[in-house]
Amino acid sequence: MRLLVGVFAALMLIGCGKSTPTASTPEHDSVIRAGSGPIAFVAQRLAGGIATIELPVPEGDDPSAWRPGFDAIADYQASMLIVLNGAGFEQWADSAALPNSRVVRTADAAGIELIRSTEVTHTHGTEGSHSHGAMNPHTWMSPRELSAQARALADSLNSAMPDQADAIDARLEALVDELAELSLAWRKVDVAGVRFVASHPSYDYLAREMGWEIVNIDLPPEGPITDDPIGELIGVVEADDRTVLVLWESEPDAAIAEQMLADFGIHSVVVSPAEGGPIGAYLDVQSANVDRLARAVAAARGK
Amino acid sequence: MSGLMRLVLLHAAHHWVRTLLLAAAASVALALPIAGRFVVDRFETDLRERAQTVPLVVGAAGSRFDLVFTSLHFRMGAKGTIELGEADKIVRDRSEGVIRAIPMHVRFTARGEPIAAVGFEYFAQRELIASTGRLPAGLTEVSLGARAAGRLGLGVGDELPSDQRTTLDITAPSSIVLRVVGVLQESGSPDDDAVFTELSTAWLLEGISHGHAEAETITDPSSVLGRSGDAVALSGAVPTAQRVTDANAGSFHLHAERSELPITAVLVYPPSEKAATILAARYNARPGTQAVRPERVVDELVSFVIRLRAVFDAIAMLLGATTAALIALIASLSVRIREDELRTLADIGASRRAVAVVALGELLVVGMIAASLAAVEVAVLAMLASTLVSMV
C-alpha cells in the first residue's frame, strides 16, 4: 500500500509539473540604428555621445531600395531604438520583423501632412487606389519637416533615456535653430524667373516649404531619356516664359545636360537628397545644394 | 496471513475474471470524478495563467471570447480586423508612460496549424527562444512551436504551404510557401501549437501584398489593362509569386498604406492600471473596436465551467451509487451461490465471524484492487491533464 501511495504521489508531481522557459531573450543593446542618412544625422545630433548611432545601410546604397540581410535585421532587432524616416521610405522595414515599440517612424510620428506622389509605377485593375509608393517619403528635404521629425525623435529618445532628457532637449533646440538657418538659406535663393523641373520627386516638401512651383518628370541622370519625358519637358518649356532648371539627384550624363541646354535652353543643377551616409553629412550636403542652386539660378537667368 | 484470508484470496484468484471486472468497474466509478476535477482544475489554471500574461487586448468589436481565444490561444474565432495604425498610436501615446503594444494577425492556417503573425516583441514578451534555427525575420519565414513542429514533422530548411481559406473562390489569394527557419523551445503553452511568422507574411496571405514581374516588362495582353506615360494598369490575371526567393524578393510590394494594414488584435502591456483603464475606455467608446481584459473574460468563462462541473459531479455521484448497488447485488448473488460452501464451513465448526469473513472478504479484495487501479488511473489522467487540455 505504501508503495502504491508513493507511486501515486510521484505520478501526481510529474502530472502537475509545467515546463517553463529556461532562458530569456535579451531585449536590446544600447545602439540607436537608423534607416537613412538624414534621420541618422538627427539622431547623431540629439543623442551622439549619449548613445552609439549607427547607419547599417552601406554607403552608396539607396536606403529606400536597400534590402538588409538577416544579420542586418538581427542588428536592427537588437537596437535600443530603430530610427526610420517613415512615410514608406525604408521599404524593407515593411517586411522585416522589428520590435514595434522600439521603432520610431519619425515622419509618421511627427504627423507630417504627406504629399501623394505623382510617380505611380503601376496599378492593378481599375481601382485607382491600388497603387504602391503613393506617398512621397522625401520629407527630410524640407528643414521645417525635418525639425518636426527631430522633435518626434526627441520624444522617443526622452522616453528611452529619461535621465538624458534635459541634454536631449537642449540639443534639439540647437538642431532646430540650425535647420531654421538652413531654411533661411534656401529661402534666400531668388528663384524668380525660373521654373523648376525635378528629375525625381525628391523636392516636393522643400518646394512646399519654400512656396516653389515644381514639376516632377522622371528623368534618369545616366540616360537614356525616352520620348515621353522629353515630350513632357518640351511641354513645360513651351508653356512657360521662365527659364527651366532641372534639379537632378546626381550628376546627369554630360551629353544629356549639354543637349538639353543647347536644344531647349534647359539648365541643370544637382540637388542631392543626401539619403545615405555618412551620418553627419546632412547639413554640409544641404549647404552645398543651396550654393549650387543659387549659382544655377543665377546662371539660368543670365546674371 | 490467516487461513481465512488465504481462503478469500484463493477464491478471488480462482474467479479472477469476475474479480478484475468488478474491480475495474469500481475503479472507474471512483477515479472519474477525481480525475475529472484534476482536468477541469488544470483547464482553469492554464486559462487563468495564460490570461494573466496579457493585461489588455484591443481588437475589432464582436465576441470578447473570440478575441481573447484567438489572440491568446490561436483559435480561429475572431473575424474582424483593426488597422495596424492602432498599435502605432498606442505605442506613441506616452501620456501615461511607455506602453508595449504587440500587433498580431491570426486568420490563416498551414496544414491545419494556426499561423500566428506577430510583432517581433512577442517572442521577448513570452520568453520564446529557438531551440534550433532562429526566429522569423522576414517575408514568409516561419518558426514552429515545439508541438506543431512535432505534428508537422518539419524542421529548419523545410517548406510549409499555407492552407487556402476557400477552395470555391478562384479569385482568393493562392497558397503561399512558407520557409521554416526555426523551431521554438517548448514552453508548455499554446505557443507550442502555433506557426509563428512576421506580420508582413499575413498581409501576403491576405492578398494585400504580392510579388510579380516588373509591370513595365509584362506584355501579355490579358494581364495589362492599359498603359500611360507613368503608369501601367495590370489586371488580376497577372501571375503572382507563391514562393519568396532571393531573385524575386525585391518584387514584393504592399497595396495599402502601412497604417491601414489589417491585424486581428493588439496585445497591450500598459505601465499602470490607470493607463490600462484609460486605453480600455478609449477603445470601448469607439465604434468598431473593443478592449478586453483577458483575465476578466476567462473569469466569466470559468464561472460557466464551474456550473458545469457541479452537474458533472452530480452525474459522477449517481454513477458511483449505481456501481455500488451493482456490486452489492453481485455480492449478494455470490453469497447465495456459495450457500452450500458457507453452510459446510459452519457445519465443520467455523464461527459466524469466520463465515462472514469468507463470504464478504471477496468484497474487500475487490475494493482494494479497485482503489489501487483508481489511484493509477487518477495519476495517469492528472499527468495527461495538460495534454488533454491543450487538445480541447
Q: What is the pLDDT along chain B (392 residues), one digit of tens a residue?
A: 578 888 888 888 888 998 898 889 888 888 888 888 888 888 888 899 999 999 999 999 999 999 999 999 998 877 899 999 999 888 877 777 778 899 999 999 999 999 999 999 999 999 999 999 999 998 899 999 999 999 999 999 999 999 987 767 666 677 889 999 999 999 999 999 999 999 999 999 988 887 766 666 666 766 666 666 556 666 666 666 678 877 777 778 777 788 889 999 999 999 999 999 999 999 999 999 999 999 999 999 888 877 877 887 888 888 888 888 888 888 888 888 888 888 888 888 888 888 888 888 888 888 899 899 989 988 888 888 777 766 66
- Grid cell locating B219: 506584355
- Residue A53 makes CB contacts below 8 A (sequence gap 6+) with A31, A32, A33, A34, A40, A43, A44, A47, A279
The partner residue sitting opposite B229, judged by closest CB among A7, A70, A228, is A228
- pLDDT at position B213 is 62
Question: Which residue ranges make up each domain of chain A?
Answer: 31-116+135-185, 190-300
- pLDDT at position B192 is 96
By C-alpha distance, the chain A residue nearest B139 is: A95
A169 falls in which pLDDT band (50, 70, 90)?
very high
Helix (H) or strand (E) holding A215: strand A214-216
Is the pLDDT confidence value at A219 over 50? yes
A23 falls in which pLDDT band (50, 70, 90)?
very low
Work out how many CB contacts closer than 8 A connect A with B.
Answer: 162
The partner residue sitting opposite A73, judged by closest CB among B91, B137, B381, is B137
Query: Hey, which residues does A124 pair with through a beta bridge?
Result: B234
* CA dist B264 → B62, B99, B203, B207, B290 (Å): 12, 19, 12, 16, 11
- pLDDT at position B218 is 65
The Cα–Cα gap between A264 and B347 comes to 137
Tell me how close the Cα of B260 comes to any Cα of chain A, in angstroms: 12
In this predicted complex, what is the ipTM? 0.71
Q: Which fold has domain A31-116+135-185?
A: Rossmann fold (3.40.50)
Tell me how close the Cα of A278 comes to any Cα of chain B, in angstroms: 25
Q: How many CB atoms lie within 10 A of CB B299?
A: 14
- pLDDT at position A27 is 67
By C-alpha distance, the chain B residue nearest A98 is: B120
The Cα–Cα gap between B235 and A66 comes to 28
The partner residue sitting opposite A124, judged by closest CB among B236, B250, B379, is B236
- pLDDT at position A128 is 36
Could you give the 3-state DSSP secondary structure of residue B351?
A: coil
- pLDDT at position A25 is 43
Best of A76, A100, A106 to disrupt the B interface (most B CBs within 10 Å) is A100
Give residue-wise pLDDT tens across range A195-210: 999 999 999 999 999 9
B93 vs A56: which has the higher pLDDT = A56
Contact A8 B185 (CB under 8 A): no
Give residue-wise pLDDT tens across range B350-370: 888 888 888 888 888 888 998
Please tell me if the domain spanning A31-116+135-185 has the same topology as the one spanning A190-300.
Answer: yes
Contact A124 B379 (CB under 8 A): no
Q: For domain A190-300, give the CATH superfamily.
A: Nitrogenase molybdenum iron protein domain (3.40.50.1980)
State the residue for C-alpha cell 478471488. B12
A191 vs B240: which has the higher pLDDT = A191
Q: Does A238 touch chain B (CB under 8 A)?
A: no
Tell me how close the Cα of A274 comes to any Cα of chain B, in angstroms: 23
Is the pLDDT confidence value at A130 over 50? no
Give residue-wise pLDDT tens across range A78-105: 999 999 999 989 989 988 889 888 999 9
Is the pLDDT confidence value at A288 over 70? yes
A21 falls in which pLDDT band (50, 70, 90)?
very low
Contact A98 B120 (CB under 8 A): yes
The Cα–Cα gap between B47 and B68 comes to 11
Tell me how close the Cα of B379 comes to any Cα of chain A, in angstroms: 5
A10 falls in which pLDDT band (50, 70, 90)?
very low
Contact B234 A95 (CB under 8 A): no
Is residue A150 packed enough to be buried (19+ CB in 10 Å), middle (13-18) or exposed (0-12)? buried
The partner residue sitting opposite B120, judged by closest CB among A65, A77, A120, is A77
- pLDDT at position A129 is 36
Residues of chain A positioned with their CB less than 8 A from the CB of B38: 15
Best of A101, A112, A157, A217 to disrupt the B interface (most B CBs within 10 Å) is A101
The Cα–Cα gap between B117 and B203 comes to 9
By C-alpha distance, the chain B residue nearest A230 is: B229
Is the pLDDT confidence value at A121 over 80? no
Tell me how close the Cα of B264 comes to any Cα of chain A, in angstroms: 16
Tell me how close the Cα of A302 comes to any Cα of chain B, in angstroms: 33
Q: Phi and psi dihedrals of A84, rounded to 5?
A: -115, 155
How many CA atoms does the CB half-sphere of B211 hold within 13 Å?
Answer: 18
Tell me how close the Cα of B303 comes to any Cα of chain A, in angstroms: 22
Contact B187 A21 (CB under 8 A): yes
Could you give the 3-state DSSP secondary structure of residue A36?
A: coil
Mean pLDDT over each residue of chain A, to the nearest integer: 84
- pLDDT at position B326 is 85
What pTM was estimated for this model as a whole?
Answer: 0.76
Q: In this structure, what DSSP letter does residue B250 have?
A: G
Residues of chain B positioned with their CB less than 8 A from the CB of A122: 215-216, 231-234
The partner residue sitting opposite A100, judged by closest CB among B119, B236, B380, is B119
- pLDDT at position B53 is 94
The alpha-helical segments, DSSP class H, found in chain A are: 2-16, 37-47, 70-77, 106-109, 143-160, 165-188, 204-210, 227-239, 254-264, 282-300
Best of B129, B230, B248, B388 to disrupt the A interface (most A CBs within 10 Å) is B230
* Max CA pair span of chain B: 119
Is the pLDDT confidence value at A5 over 60? no
Residues of chain A positioned with their CB less than 8 A from the CB of B138: 70, 73, 95-97
The partner residue sitting opposite B250, judged by closest CB among A67, A101, A130, is A67
- pLDDT at position B391 is 65
Contact B98 A24 (CB under 8 A): no
Which A residues, 72 through 111, put their C-beta within 8 Å of a C-beta on chain B? 73-74, 77, 88, 91, 94-102, 105, 108-109
Is the pLDDT confidence value at A107 over 90? yes
Is the pLDDT confidence value at A118 over 60? no
- pLDDT at position B290 is 96
- Grid cell locating B143: 518558426
Q: Does A234 touch chain B (CB under 8 A)?
A: no
Give residue-wise pLDDT tens across range B110-169: 999 999 999 999 999 999 999 999 999 988 999 999 999 999 999 999 999 999 877 676
Q: Quick one: average pLDDT of A4-31? A: 46
Tell me how close the Cα of B344 comes to any Cα of chain A, in angstroms: 34
